[in-house]
Structure 1
Amino acid sequence: MMNQLSKDDRFPVTLRNPPATPGRLLAGALSAVLDAVTGESPAAAVDRALRGLHGVASSHGIDLDTAAVAPAALHAAGRTQERRRRELALLSLYQATADLGRRDTVARLSDAILSAASRLAAPVDAAWLVVGNSSDGWRGYAASGLTVPDALRVVGRAGGMAAVAVRSAVPFAVPSYLDSTLFPHDASADAAIRQDRIGPVLAVQLPVTGANKVVLHLARRDATPFAAQHMAVLSHFAHVAAGQLEVVDALTASRRHAGELAGRLGDRDRSTAMIDELLQLVAAAEPPEPAIALTIIGKALGTPVVLLGPYGQMLAGSAPDGFPVAGSDLINRAAAAPGRVVVECGSVTRYAISVTGSGRSQGTLMTVRDTPFSEDGLADLRRAAAVLGALLTRRSALRQAYEEVRADLFAELLGAHRALPRSVRVMAEANNFGLDRPHVLVALTAADGAVLDPLVADSAALLGGIGGLHEGIHLALLPGTDPRRAADALASRIRRVIGARPFICVSEPLTPAGGRLSDTVQAVRHGLALLKVAGAPGAAATTSELALFRPLFDPDRADDIRDLLDSTLSPLVDYDREHNVDLVSTVRAFLATGGNAAAAARKLYIHPNTMSKRLERISRLLGDDWSEGINGLRLRLAIHLESLSRRPDPAPAGRTAA
């Protein structure tokens, strides 16, 4: 009603809704374009927003050529959509691999693989698994979505697409199964495929060890081909699924042999307990460190067990004093005969077996005995190596997926200019990262240029945060409300590894949920560069302490900062060095007490006469007006920066943040 007043109704009143001026309308239309480009909107929304902007401009007589910016806006919107699709794909991959770990039978796991793969490459109308090899032939194993039972015979004796997928070792897709000439066809299988209206098909090998190969097929009934992003995600998924198949195979074999082992002696009970404990570790939502599995194996075998690298280096385990570690010859022999225990006899007997998973070596399992193993003992060692390989494979795959998701989350948080979209919040929840908790942003670099990646990311994770390299600078987002305490905890962990405290600039507390962290990134970047130019190794400061210098100095122009310090403080520093006096601290105390010489003397624990003599000396070195006007301002800036850059390390090596 207030907006309906005529121009003649003039009386002092404040309108609740300001008039829709051309500027406000143009700003609103431009904001709609930005929302469409950076939001979760399709290209049509960007086009509508641009047309809206053009319409508003035209209605006010402004000739605005929005067609010129349309390609750039559509390209930016496309990149936003592509990035979010990749984030969601990584999250789906992480969830899918975690779901596989909860299946404890081959049948249940096969159904879970079909279901998870169909979600990752959606839309998928049918999926099936085939098992076999070129010598013994192929057979369908499990399927979902097929309406014609004979369609499971899509492989035929020659293998069809499965044989091609195994030879290529990468995901293999055809736009039309029936029309493809890339593989041999089976007449009865083709008839079933035609009746089931199958069109594009994608095949990917699950790289399990052994003679038999496993190939996953995904199919659609429309003509939409599978995209490259689907094949990339399924390539990662295939390795995880293969590792889990080996886990379940080991679990199935263990259960099958449990009945046979029931009547054996007590050592057989220990063997069964070892396998069960190892399988529980493998099936855990978060697979533990390999050392825990080695402890279980060593306890069951009655001898220490270690995991060695290709050159005999210790990867996991704890060998007692005098433990004769294997040389490279024994390791090479074990690697050349996967699945077999290699024996080296002497004063003691060494046993080594290659630990493999998903077709790749994960190390060599080795133990030493004074008395030889029995056949049952050798079998236990082989089974332990198989399960350990599955554990290491699954642990590696989950860690890779986890790190990729956290890296994307970190980049999204630090690059945010506005409130976070829902996709980023979902990623944060999946990683147990509290967006609504107070955090501080830490920027750091080593004084000697030492490499800090991935040390920063690992240290940040141990402190409950997230970190890594962002736009050429090491950053960490840590929980807490005390900037110095969080920064000191991170610096202490870094110092234990590189032997020196890094340069650090830390922000005041902030809440990541609000977005807009990009400005904070620039603030800590500026502060870190300033400390590197002006400070001693190990200098640390907050962005609040350095806020005064941000509009005054450009860290890229390092000479300006050095000139300020040299021209202002050099006479005092040189005199202190030659006469063993501390005129710099005298100036700092005098300025801090507002020019009160008596108060400054008490602060320095010196006699007033000594204070007077020092002030006279300072005047002779800097001039009588050293504390006034522009000279006083320059001196205050230099003293403040010098104090920050030479602050002693406040954190002992063992201290951590609360």
Structure 2
Amino acid sequence: MSEPSPSAAPLLGRLLDLLADDAPAEELGAVTSEARAAGVPAADLAEVERAAATALRIRGALRQHRRRELQLTALFDTAGDLAASRDLDDVLKAIVRRARMLLGTDTAYLTLPDEEAGDTYMRVTDGSVSVLFQRLRLELGEGLGGLVAQTASPYATPDYRTDDRFRHTRNINAGVLDEGLVAILGVPLLLGSSRGGTGKVIGVLFAADRAARVFSPDEVALLCSLAAHAAIAIDTARALDDTRTALAELAGANEELAGANAAVRAHSAAMQRAEEAHDRLTDLVLRGGDVKDVAVSVAGLLDSPLTIHDPGGRPLAAVRPDGTGFAADSMDAGWLAGTAEESRHGARAVHRDGRWICAVLAGHELLASLVLHRPDRLDDSDRRLFERAAVVTGLLLLLRRTVAETENRIRGELISDLLADPERDPAGLAERGRRLGIDLDRPHLVLVAESAARERLGGAAMRYLFGGDIHGVSAEHAGAVVLLIDCDGQGTPAGAAARAAAAQLGHLVQAPVTVAGTGPASGARELAAAHAEAARCLRAMRVLGREGEGADVGELGFLGVVLGDAKDVDGFVTAVLGPLLRYDERRGTHLVRTLRAYFGAGGSLIRAKDELHVHVNTVVQRLDRIQVLLGRDWNEPDRALELQLALRLHLLSGGRES
């Protein structure tokens, strides 16, 4: 460029100022017009025109550089988003928003394929105002986006509605029309693309205007770059999802492996415990252990208190986990029988009211019940151990019963001989008893039992004696069952023992059992006499309609005096008239004499007052006092008979009437 003339210099300087201020192209062109208007020489004017053209080129280059700088900044920002954000939605929204901003379009959007439905859907939109457009779905090959996805190449149209290169559908046209789009540019999101080939299309990125527009190659390239970033973001997100899924599966596999290891360890421990239990229980059977030994072993193995109850609910054994015993209460026989029946029917232990119960059976017969006092559940191995213990308990009880039946049969022969003829050889009977383990010289209660279920009563009596802590012997004699119970002169009275036996035997035979008791007695002669008294008491109970009960002669009132060998007249009189005798003695009254006079007068108050030489009101007052002391039923026939008999016995025995 030649040295400008002085007249052109100001204009050239102004061009530089305008370039520095990034003035519009119109202002740069206006400098040439000013030069012509100012009459600048032709040579200088040509110089100004060349300078203006150069300034316009420089301005275009600067704007192009700034545009590329903005694009690169956007790409760097997008790359930063990819690195910083783990949320795919946020990254895709940022890419679509930048595409719209950098290309200066009204809208931008991104579609992704729906592999299950076999079409594509709108994943992200920016600048869209049409719900119909946002819900648009495209089949492969339909519209501009379908062609981009099918060919893996970018496509642009200045006016989509009139461009016949694309397969228009009513659905797409309606959405585009509702959004008001005209010019559309779409580029593919490619994965795995390399030089000389194309990758897999995983979506399409669009930029669109609501007016006709021609997209430049630079704009196409920019949108392709953003699409590449979007493809990377989607692929990264999928890889992360796959990694998370793999990690979750690995964690699940580790948990399953840990669970399997725990199960193996638990199974191994259970097998070891089962082996130990098998050894213990087998040893118990081989060395002739009893049910308490079973309770000790099982309570220790299952770490819970264990009780064993007979069919009547009485405890046979009660053991803590440390092997120490404790006093267990009897259980309700009805509840226990019902639970044991449930256990028998299901052939397994059942859990009820915080306890595990397993029936000990011999066929259909209930021998006992194992009760594990444990509120929580038993696992399968522990439950099988508990059920196996019930089988061993049944075996031991059957062995014990077999031995007991044999011993009881031999001892029963002794009892039968004793009752048949106690005078024949008392010393020989005593010696036989000692050899059989029965000391006839020790005090015994004598119980005589009968029932309509006679064929089952003998076996029930044997189970009653050997099922708990009762020591004795039983035998069948004269159509009834006789039980001799060792009492050592103390303990349960005969009447209470008879009632307990009636209840337990009735439960065992499932029918009413009547039991009469006497004693204690010792020696062959006394035992035979006690049996005779108990037999008479049993007959009296039958006459009185007291089947299914238990009693002794002392509890039968005046019949006890009549039937009993001891003839305890004083005891009977005291039992019947005691309240009146004590009252007369303390207060000096005449209640006993008044009662005797009243009965002697046949219940006539007039005749009674004449006999007593008192006013009739006095007789009434004394009878009221007698009612208070004896009860309201004192004048009922049965009670009146007892009172009259007691009054006569009192008089015969020398008792004074006040």
TM-score by length of 2: 0.33
* TM value normalised by structure 1: 0.33
More helix by share: 2
RCO higher in 1 or 2 (8 Å CA, sep ≥ 6)?
1
